[in-house]
Chains A and B, each alone.
Chain A
């Protein structure tokens, strides 16, 4: 396919003896806004650093815009605009100076420089701060300068590492809308651990956990896939020991139609909460209620809820078997 912009094949990265990335393969097509999702330390940044040629993979290969990341790293870097997680800029420079510097480094010359700087300044709304020192800018504005430097050479591919972290909600919304806008003409990979952002900004989601891709779908698809309504049961603690807890868990897990029962942590003092996932689409509540009565549990809460992306994410990125199972 010609419109594949990024193609990674078996990317593996080891730091000393720690496996940061474990055979990650993916394809990103033209025009996609790909959300890269995962807990901290899952390998999001490592993947991005490899794709931008800041670091090299221990094994595996990747092509970006047709250029190999080891063979033609200059070609790769020319086609990418990159905003690293740290958004570290030269604090002693003026915004304008900085953008002109980046433009020059990106091979833009003469009158084009002024034109391009003007365009990205408009795009990212930097007009008011153009002659300020970068050190004097707020986090939100720095993020914009970071975006502006990534956009200045009109790259077909944008790689943004947590572009919305550390911003207040208003700034985050602004940046998100900006990225959505930018993504109309470009291929974008953005990483985040905020699920709401992914749902709004991206049209495809990759979930990565412990260095492996555990899910690859649209935000809607992900929700549908794990869309079975779960039940949350809360009972009063009878006595304060493990056996009661285990007894409850076993009792709920043993109910007909229950796929999995798991304790969840959000219970009040003196209460125990469990999350029950059904095998089919049946409503589990009646049987849970009957089981509680039979066993003599004091039921204080029972609700059924559709899964949102957050639960899917939690499910895919926690638990020992999560990785293998979901990838299969």
Chain B
């Protein structure tokens, strides 16, 4: 367990050793500021409702950028050999790396707290949906990060990892937009699989354990697959 945290700590620090994390966080915040304040005064309501949809879109390119290097870069440079010959289980490595990325997502979300805080000075803000909204973002972002770790375990090329996880996350996100064109039976299954379906409820302020469970399963499933993929080096 302590090794998981050691890895997470190193990886988290690593984000700040290179400009990558700063670029991702800054870009995220700049785009958010632009798209958030633009319509805000048109609507003229002290609500951050629009913020969550916006953020869930912005997560799509940023989450894969945070995870693309986690395993792929170790494989490319060969550092993985020293890492995996230390007395550490493959699973601990996967979880440690995932936690580091989750930590950065948390930092990112903390930065965006500026929005609800400043909105609350403009009018009465209902904090309940704000917190469930953040919970939804943390869960959705967390699911994307887990998919990103998985994609990173498949290749030793960061760019491929970025696009692979980007495409998978985008598919999970966009699929709900196509529901009207699908046959009834397929639509309900696909809807249940989509990020949006579970995300919207949470963002609206309804904490349904099924939605939480959905995201946790995506995370768990992806990380187990990533663990398997890491382990498969032994047999190839």
Residues of A within 8 A of B (CB): 15, 49, 52-56, 74-75, 77-78, 80, 82, 84, 86, 88-93, 101-102, 104-107, 149
Interfacial chain A residues near B86, Cβ < 8 Å: 77, 102, 105-106
With contacts A74-B89, A92-B14 taken as known, whether A105 is within 8 angstroms of B3 at the C-beta atoms is yes
A78 CB to closest chain B CB, in angstroms? 4
Interfacial chain B residues near A107, Cβ < 8 Å: 87
Q: What are 8 A-B contacts defined by CB distance under 8 Å?
A: A54-B233, A77-B87, A80-B85, A84-B78, A88-B78, A88-B80, A90-B10, A90-B14
B6 touching A93 by the CB < 8 A rule? no
Chain A residue at minimal CB-CB distance from B81: A84
With contacts A74-B87, A80-B85, A92-B18 taken as known, whether A55 is within 8 angstroms of B233 at the C-beta atoms is yes
B6 touching A54 by the CB < 8 A rule? no
Q: Which of A55, A77, A78, A88 is the one whose CB lies under 8 Å from B79?
A: A88
B88 contacts chain A at the CB level, 8 A cutoff: yes
With contacts A90-B14, A92-B14, A92-B17 taken as known, whether A53 is within 8 angstroms of B85 at the C-beta atoms is yes
B6 touching A89 by the CB < 8 A rule? no
- Bound complex: CA A15 to CA B6 (Å): 33
Interfacial chain A residues near B236, Cβ < 8 Å: 15
- Bound complex: CA A80 to CA B235 (Å): 21
Mostly helix, strand, loop or mixed at chain B's interface?
helix
B177 contacts chain A at the CB level, 8 A cutoff: no
A104 touching B6 by the CB < 8 A rule? yes
With contacts A56-B235, A90-B14, A92-B17 taken as known, whether A82 is within 8 angstroms of B6 at the C-beta atoms is no
A86 CB to closest chain B CB, in angstroms? 4
- Bound complex: CA A104 to CA B79 (Å): 17
B79 touching A90 by the CB < 8 A rule? yes
Interfacial chain A residues near B77, Cβ < 8 Å: 86, 88, 91
B85 touching A54 by the CB < 8 A rule? yes
Interface string of B17-42 (1 = CB under 8 A from A): 11000000000000000000000000
- Bound complex: CA A89 to CA B84 (Å): 13
Interfacial chain B residues near A75, Cβ < 8 Å: 87
A139 CB to closest chain B CB, in angstroms? 14
Interfacial chain A residues near B17, Cβ < 8 Å: 92-93
- Bound complex: CA A91 to CA B77 (Å): 10
Chain A residue at minimal CB-CB distance from B92: A105
With contacts A78-B87, A82-B85 taken as known, whether A101 is within 8 angstroms of B6 at the C-beta atoms is yes
B82 touching A88 by the CB < 8 A rule? yes
Interfacial chain B residues near A56, Cβ < 8 Å: 234-235
B85 touching A88 by the CB < 8 A rule? no
Query: Which positions 35-77 of chain B face chain A at CB distance < 8 Å?
Result: 77
Q: Which of B6, B79, B80 is the one whose CB lies under 8 Å from A105?
A: B6
